[in-house]
Structure 1
Amino acid sequence: MSDSRQMWSVSSGMMVAMTPLDHESCYRAVKARDRRFDGVFYTAVRTTGIYCRPSCPARTPAPANVSFHPSAASAQGAGYRACKRCLPDATPGSPDWDVAADVAGRAMRLISDGVVDREGVPGLAAHLGYTPRHLTRLLTAELGAGPLALARARRAQTARVLIETTDLTYADVAFAAGFSSVRQFNDTVREVYATTPSELRGHRSAEGPGAAGTSITMRLAVRTPYAADALLDFLAHHVVPGVEAVGPGWYARTLDLPHGPGTVRLDLAAAQSTTPGETAFVPATFELTDLRDTTAAVERARRLLDADCDPVAVDAHFAGDPVVGPLVRRHPGLRVPGQVDGDEVAVRTVLGQQVSVAGARTVAGRLVAAHGRPVGSAVPGLTHLFPDAATLADVDPEALPMPRARGRALVALAERLADGSIALDRGRDRAAVRDALLALPGIGPWTADYVAMRALGHPDVFLPTDLGVRNALVGLGHDPALVVAAAEEWSPWRSYALLHLWQTLMPPVPAAEPPPARPEET
């Protein structure tokens, strides 16, 4: 079995490349019960017929009795069942997917968003620019399983979490997880977990959250350390009235999902951790119009949280750096805020060109009030979806509350997003997307690269002309010209270096704004 991805381990503060799924290297990680590799590979034990995460607390099997798989679907396809003790599917995804940004990584992001469930393998292949047959060959070579098997493994994971943490009926769980029938759901659960849905529900934690109506509460796994407070500060500083809301320890926002609108509230304070190598959990409460959007909603919330980052590897990379090293020690596990909608990030980035963050928030709020679709929510302050690209493409740029040139750039961008010639769904090649953005009037390298970092999850973006970078470096007593010239040394994690610099400039979190009045109240 081949796998072109690289695994990384940290030894004496140095990040060392390991041979891809090399048996000896993987076995050392399993013997050490190293949690950093949970979700990166899976251990299958021939004598028991089960597969585990590398950190499984069970007795370490003999080297001759184990094989290693790059995905849960690969282990399942080889006839292994998930371990009931370590729950190997309840792990963050592999950080390699964002670093390499190869076809396998981009495919996994789309599969996690439910593209195969909604559009089938042909739809996934179209997003990636391959034929279904060629894509299946590529994924089988890279991940040990084709797209259907990978999607099935994702559905099984979602189903288990819903069974164990909610009061949804089994029929609702089946369709929320993406299964086409209750029978398919039952068969898959029995095959993957060697148990029935009823037995899984009997194993639920006594403190597990429940579900009422279309409200679902789940726990989203993240690797530690996790600087949740810093992530919340960033999100709160950029909050757009009507679309987002914040409070002590939590952040909420509306979601434009494939089958209808929804919302999510993330209790970030619960995940704050400075302990390396563990798994923390962010409680997330979703309000959904259609349960079929569960998979997409969860994946988009995970993107926002940068949940699949390997903070131990990132922080170790900067350990000896005179500029970023002290900042990492101040905020271990700092994340790059992601997105729930790539188009929204791109539009908000254009809105923020050459204006303050406060000014961009004001303009974005006006845009939302004028062109966003109203939604209902139990969270005060969440009143609208962010305007979609098709709506903004039809707006007269002269009527937008911004300089005319920027208005024309925004509408031109919206037109390209609406017709699909630019896609920000993490399924396209990053370099190609950047070139397409730069071809638009009014969009320069700063805008294109910021979009790549936030919308496409690029971990290696640096903005050398950014005023915030200069001010941060001056404030830290460094010569900006010298530091920027040497920034290549921070690769492949320059996006994280950028966030550490910006974090030094973070002002006090703005007070929550009162929710705008609904039309019937005016």
Structure 2
Amino acid sequence: MRSKDARFDGWFFTAVRTTRIYCRPSCPGMPPKAENMAFFPSAAAAQQAGYRACKRCRPDASPGSPQWNERADLAARAMRLIADGVVDRAGVPGLAARLGYSVRQVERQLLAEFGAGPLALARAQRAQTARLLIETTALPMSEVAAAAGFGSIRTFNDTVREVFALPPTELRLRAGRQVSSPGVISLRLPFREPLCPDNLFGHLAATAVPGVEEWRDGAYRRTLRLPHGTGIVTLRPTADHIACQLALTDLRDLARAISRCRRLLDLDADPVAVDDLLAADPVLAPYVRKDPGRRVPRTVDGAEMAIRAVLGQQVSTAAARTHAARLVLDHGDPVHDPAGGLTHLFPTPTTLADLDPERLALPHARRDTLLALVHALTSGAIDLGVGADRDLARARLAALPGFGPWTVETIAMRALGDPDAFLPGDLGVRAAARALGLPFSPAGLTAHAAAWRPWRAYAVQYLWATGDHPVNHLPA
């Protein structure tokens, strides 16, 4: 806190007992006396203890803790599900059911880890959503309250006053004129620096499925399937944030859309920790120094990524896009995009359950693989959602016909968000290893990569970056 190190924003929160204000560690204000300080593991815990958010550093808007994505235990899985709105949609019993634990176990674990239970954590998220809508739109406060998930305008008013020490109308006046276009929410997605946009946006653009994704005017755009409707997001990299525009059919999906965009771009990562470990390998060190802060391009929907991974087995990036585009045209739900060329949502496993395999321009074995995956996803035998058990998902994927290590680990890296997923059999990874003088057999490279744990998914990004492939460059 004394060094105002922004890397730790979101890891923990500091509070001042005399002013009853809580801040992020990098708050530019004068540091308080040590004896007046209190520390909390989450913004919800600080709010629950009666502290209000600092108006200067806005701690409620800091990046999320990287542990929520790095870890795979109950608490981290619960945090990912809360961010995706499960408590708002299904309550604490619904959260517990998704995790496979009792309500009491979930509440006890979250209170121990984050200093607040699931209801308080969800309330903190609703308060942040409300603030975004208050400051970036001209919506009536009653509509803001409903969109943010509050059950009544009174609860909305009380929460905003309690968390931000201002009534909603004053919060809007202080923010000045709203800049969002009608029907569009414009906001800034923060991240821990550094961030290298080249491979992140380059990968998304190079593998974009026509109709579902596109690169347009220096921004990545895609359609979103959300709990209450649909959306279109535009994401543009800048020096210190990601500019985000969201067009949603139902504003109740705002928090979920933001959470999925952050997950897609891996914005809650701790790049300093990742790069410090990888740079200890003298082979990777020059590439880490050249382009620090590489992120792992992930997904907004685990089932979609798994289906695309199967379509991409043993074919080029261009061929995988072609197969996916055919699937989208035949089975995707249409959307209207007045600002670009997006036409469809990616089809759900339920929609694909009745597809005619003869219409798939795939080898028979891969058709069987795709149909087995669709059946497993539709039946619930495999969960690839944000709160999924990674080890269980891996095991059940590996049991499906046609699922080798490359497919399983690709899904683990991009759908399940495992930072230690590794692809030693990937052609690009093996070519990079050979060129760098590393062992290039899967077994040899896996043994060498033990020193890169728990960040092997990030090592893959640096290995891929040694080649001249479109995934490594921002489109012109």
TM-score range, shorter chain: over 0.9
Tell me which residue corresponds to 1:465: 425
Q: Distance in 2 between matches of 1:391 and 1:444?
A: 25
Q: What residue is the counterpart of 2:186 in the other structure?
A: 217
Alpha-carbon separation, structure 1, partners of 2:269 and 2:64: 8
Q: Say if 2:41 is the partner of 1:81.
A: no
- SS at 1:480 equivalent: coil
Listed as ranges, the matches of 1:163-174 within 5 Å are: 163-174=134-145
Aligned residues: 472
Deviations 1:360-381 (A, max 9, x none): 0111111111111111112322
1:255 maps to 2:224: yes
2:286 aligned residue? 326
Q: Which residue of 1 aligns with 2:110?
A: 139
Deviates more, 1:499-508 or 1:417-426: 499-508
| Cα offset, 1:230, TM superposition | 2.5
How much has 1:152 moved relative to structure 2?
Answer: 0.1
Q: Is residue 316 of structure 1 aligned with residue 280 of structure 2?
A: no
Distance in 1 between residues matched to 2:181 and 2:102, nearest whole Å: 40
Alignment gaps of 5+ in structure 2: none
Match of 2:326 among 359, 366, 379: 366
Deviation at 1:483, TM superposition (A): 4.4
Q: 1:43 to 1:383 in 2, by over 3 A?
A: same
Alignment partner of 1:402: what SS? coil
Query: 2:393, 2:474 → 1: CA distance?
Result: 36
How far did residue 396 of structure 1 move?
A: 2.6
Match of 1:334, SS state, is: coil
Q: Which residue among 47, 50, 61 is the counterpart of 2:32?
A: 61
Paired amino acid for 1:361? R
Residues 383-404 of structure 1, C-alpha deviation per residue, up to 9 Å, x if partnerless? Answer: 0001100011111323312111
Does residue 264 (structure 1) correspond to residue 233 (structure 2)? The answer is: yes
Aligned residue number for residue 66 of structure 2: 95
1:360-439 superposed matches below 5 A = 360-439=320-399
Report the TM-score, using the length of structure 1 for normalisation: 0.87
The correspondence for 1:240, drawn from 209, 219, 225, is 209
- Answer with 142-151 or 94-103: which moved more: 94-103
1:349 is paired with a residue of what secondary structure?
A: helix
Do 1:162 and 1:218's aligned partners in 2 also have CA atoms closer than 8 Å?
no
- Give the match for residue 456 of structure 1: 416
Contact map agreement 1:342 1:456 (CA 8 A) in 2: yes
Deviation at 1:506, TM superposition (A): 4.4
CA deviation string 1:115-146 (max 9, x = no partner): 11111111111111111122111111111111
Tell me, yes or no, if the aligned pair for 1:376 and 1:383 is still in contact at 8 Å: yes
User: Is residue 51–residue 81 contact of structure 1 (8 Å, CA) maintained in 2?
Assistant: yes
* SS of corresponding position for 2:93: helix
Q: Distance in 1 between matches of 2:380 and 2:332?
A: 20
Letter in structure 1 aligned against 2:157: N
Q: Which residue of 1 aligns with 2:305?
A: 345
Equivalent in 465, 470, 476 of residue 503 of structure 1: 465
State yes or no: 1:130 paired with 2:71: no
8 Å CA contact retained: 1:473, 1:501: yes
The amino acid across from 1:371 in the alignment is H
**2:136 touches 2:186 (CA, 8 Å); kept in 1?**
yes
Deviations 1:192-247 (A, max 9, x none): 111111111122166x63241x3211111111111123311111110110100102
8 Å CA contact 1:220–1:302 kept in 2: the answer is yes
* Structure 2 Cα separation of the partners of residues 138 and 83 of structure 1: 28
Q: Tell me the amino acid that sits aligned with residue 216 of structure 1.
A: I
User: In 2, distance between residues paired with 1:397 and 1:367?
Assistant: 11
Alpha-carbon distance in structure 1 between the residues aligned to 2:134 and 2:275: 36
- Worse-matched range after superposition: 438-447 or 385-394: 438-447
Shift of 1:511: 11
Q: In the aligned structure 1, how far is the partner of 2:369 from the partner of 2:33? A: 61
In structure 2, the residue matched to 1:9 is none
Deviation at 1:105, TM superposition (A): 1.2
Q: Distance in 2 between matches of 1:471 and 1:415?
A: 35
Match 2:449 to one of 487, 490, 497: 487
> Secondary structure of 2:61's match?
coil
Cα distance in structure 2, aligned partners of 1:494 and 1:134: 32
User: How far is 1:180 from its partner?
Assistant: 2.0
- Residue type of the alignment partner of 1:288: L
Deviation of 1:283 after TM superposition, in Å, equals 1.2
CA RMSD in angstroms, aligned pairs only: 1.7
Distance in 2 separating the partners of 1:468 and 1:259: 39
TM-score, normalising length: structure 2: 0.96
2:419 partner SS: coil
2:42 to 67, 71, 96: 71
Structure 1 distance, partners of 2:87, 2:350, is: 24
Q: Aligned partners of 2:302, 2:268: CA distance in 1, in Å? A: 18
Q: Would the alpha carbon gap of residues 511 and 211 (structure 1) be closer, same or farther in structure 2, given more than 3 Å must change?
A: closer
CA–CA separation in structure 2 for the residues paired with 1:172 and 1:327: 49
* Cα distance in 1 for residues equivalent to 2:254 and 2:3: 35
Q: Deviations over 1:332-357 (max 9, x none)?
A: 11100111111000000000011111
Q: Confirm or deny: 8 A CA contact 2:22 2:54 kept in the other structure.
A: yes
Q: Once the two structures are superposed, what CA deviation does each residue of 1:59-105 show, in whole Å capped at 9, x if it has no partner?
A: 21122211111111111111111111111111110001122222111
Sort the Cα spacing of 1:36 and 1:511 in 2 relative to 1 into closer, same or farther, 3 A: closer
Provide closer, same or farther for how the CA distance between residues 175 and 505 of structure 1 changes in structure 2, counting only shifts above 3 A: farther
3-state SS of the aligned residue for 1:56?
coil
Cα distance in 2 for residues equivalent to 1:54 and 1:110: 26
